[in-house]
Amino acid sequence: MKVRVSNPLRLIATRPTMIVTTVHENGKVNGGTFGAYTNLSPTLIGIAISRASDTYRNIKRTGELVLNIPGIELADATFNIFGKHFPKNVSEVEEAGVSTVEGEIVKVPMIKECKANIECKYVKEMPVNYHVFVVVEALAGWCEEELKMQKATLMW
Ligand SMILES: Cc1cc2nc3c(=O)[nH]c(=O)nc-3n(C[C@H](O)[C@H](O)[C@H](O)COP(=O)(O)O)c2cc1C
């Protein structure tokens, strides 16, 4: 027997929550938590991003971002630091005590402690209420060597 649920979209919230890194005008690395995203084609990803977020503003200014997939060790920081707003002179990355590494293609740094990272560039957007559905193109992907060996899909 099926029961009616009050929030149907929770039934399909199965993908790993990610931390999007971008760069502020002052050079500080911004990190924001995003769960509303999906793959659209072999190279395109769509993310619903609040237009009030620093992430959205930085993507529009620089055209670049990195998707960082945290492991369970970063769950607390993902919710309680990257999931909250900080002023531009405070980097969530520094607050969370994680480190960054340079990618190969974009200027935005990647979070070293994350299990996987995808370097991306902005493609287009569509307004959806107070969010903007931002379409980005994956330019390069990185993951922990053991995950590649297992051909693992990240599902936490
Ligand atoms: C688990 C989780 C998932 C989230 N998913 C989204 C999302 O998909 N889109 C969005 O706009 N904000 C989402 N947020 C809220 C942002 O993380 C929050 O607004 C954050 O301050 C954005 O950071 P920024 O202002 O540095 O860009 C989520 C927060 C949490 C804790």
pLDDT score, position 42: 87
| Ligand 1 atom closest to residue 78's alpha carbon, by position in its atom list | 31
Where are the chain's structural domains? 8-149
For residues 79-93, average pLDDT: 93
pLDDT score, position 149: 66
Cβ-contact 68, 18 below 8 angstroms:
yes
Closest Cα to atom 10 of ligand 1? 49
Asked whether the predicted pLDDT for residue 156 surpasses 80, the reply is no
> What rounded mean pLDDT belongs to the chain?
91
| Ligand 1 atom closest to residue 84's alpha carbon, by position in its atom list | 21
Q: What percent of the chain has pLDDT over 90?
A: 75
Cβ-contact 30, 54 below 8 angstroms:
yes
Query: Is the distance from the beta carbon of residue 85 to the nearest atom of ligand 1 less than 6 Å?
Result: yes
Question: Looking at the domain 8-149, which fold is it?
Answer: Pnp Oxidase; Chain A (2.30.110)
CA distance 9 to 112: 31
Higher pLDDT, 135 or 147: 135
pLDDT score, position 9: 76
Query: Is the distance from the beta carbon of residue 30 to the nearest atom of ligand 1 less than 6 Å?
Result: yes
Question: Band of the pLDDT at 145, cuts 50, 70, 90?
Answer: confident
Candidates 15, 63, 13; CA nearest to 39 is 15
Any idea what the Cα angle at residue 118 is, between residues 59 and 42, rounded to 5°? 100
| Ligand 1 atom closest to residue 50's alpha carbon, by position in its atom list | 11
- Compute the Cα dihedral for 60, 28, 156, 1 and give only its sign: negative
